[in-house]
Amino acid sequence: MRFPVGFVWGAATSAFQIEGASREDGKGPSIWDTFCRQPGRVAAGATGDVAIDHYHRHREDLALLAELGYGAYRFSISWPRVLPLGRGTVSRAGLGFYDQLVDEALELGLEPYPTLYHWDLPQALQDEGGWPTRGTAAWFSDYAALMIERLGDRVTRWATLNEPWCAAFLGHFAGIHAPGVQDARAAVASSHHLLLGHGLATAAMRAARPDAQLGIVVNPAPVVGLDGIGDDAVRRVDGLRNRWFLDPVLTGSYPKDVLDDLAAVLDDLIEPGDLDTIAAPLDWLGVNYYHDLLLEPPVEPEPWPYPFAPPAHTAARTELVTDLSWPVTPNGLADLLRHLRDTYPGLPPLAVTENGAAFTDPLVDGRIADDRRITYLAGHLEALASAMADGVDVFGYFVWSAFDNLEWHDGYRPRFGVIHVDYETMVRTPKDSALWLREFIDSSRPPADAD
> Which residues belong to the active site?
163, 354
SS3 at position 185: helix
Specify the pairing of strand 72-76 against strand 111-117: parallel
Closest CA to 126 of 80, 90, 64: 80
Using CB under 6 A as the binding rule, whether residue 355 contacts ligand IFM is answered as no
Of the pair 254, 408, the CB lying nearest ligand IFM is at 408
Of the pair 13, 277, the CB lying nearest ligand IFM is at 13
User: By the 8 A CB rule, do 29 and 22 touch?
Assistant: yes
Of the pair 274, 354, the CB lying nearest ligand IFM is at 354
* Long-range CB contacts for residues 93-101, cutoff 8 Å, separation at least 24: 93/25, 93/26, 94/25, 94/26, 94/27, 95/150, 97/25, 97/55, 97/58, 98/147, 98/150, 98/151, 99/150, 99/151, 100/58, 101/58, 101/62, 101/75
Closest CA to 435 of 74, 64, 167, 75: 64
Of the pair 17, 47, the CB lying nearest ligand IFM is at 17
Q: Summarize the chain as % helix, strand, coil (round to 5).
A: 45, 15, 40
Using CB under 6 A as the binding rule, whether residue 91 contacts ligand IFM is answered as no
Residue among 19, 104, 163, 370 that touches ligand IFM (CB under 6 A): 163
In whole angstroms, the minimum distance from the beta carbon of 352 to ligand IFM comes to: 12
Using CB under 6 A as the binding rule, whether residue 288 contacts ligand IFM is answered as yes
Phi/psi at 320 (5° precision): -100, 130
In whole angstroms, the minimum distance from the beta carbon of 325 to ligand IFM comes to: 12
Over the window 220 to 259, marking each residue x when it contacts ligand IFM by CB under 6 A and - when it does not, the resulting string is ----------------------------------------
Closest CA to 131 of 202, 77, 203, 185: 185
In whole angstroms, the minimum distance from the beta carbon of 76 to ligand IFM comes to: 9
Identify whether 401 is preceded by a cis peptide bond (ω within 30 of 0): yes
In whole angstroms, the minimum distance from the beta carbon of 412 to ligand IFM comes to: 12
CA pair distance 186, 167, nearest whole angstrom: 11
In whole angstroms, the minimum distance from the beta carbon of 410 to ligand IFM comes to: 8
Of the pair 71, 411, the CB lying nearest ligand IFM is at 411
Over the window 174 to 193, marking each residue x when it contacts ligand IFM by CB under 6 A and - when it does not, the resulting string is --------------------
CA pair distance 271, 12, nearest whole angstrom: 35
Of the pair 277, 288, the CB lying nearest ligand IFM is at 288
In whole angstroms, the minimum distance from the beta carbon of 356 to ligand IFM comes to: 7
How many residues of this chain bind ligand IFM (CB under 6 A)?
8
Residue among 98, 307, 407, 428 that touches ligand IFM (CB under 6 A): 407
Using CB under 6 A as the binding rule, whether residue 354 contacts ligand IFM is answered as yes
Using CB under 6 A as the binding rule, whether residue 322 contacts ligand IFM is answered as no
For 112, counting Cβ atoms within 10 Å of its Cβ (0-12 exposed, 13-18 middle, 19+ buried), the class is: buried
| Chain residues 1-20 in contact with ligand IFM, contact rule CB under 6 A | 14, 17
| Chain residues 375-404 in contact with ligand IFM, contact rule CB under 6 A | 400
What are the residue ranges of helices labelled H in 359-431? Answer: 371-389
| One-letter identity of residue 321 | V
Phi/psi at 59 (5° precision): -65, -50
Catalog residues that contact ligand IFM under the rule CB under 6 A: 14, 17, 163, 288, 354, 400, 407, 416
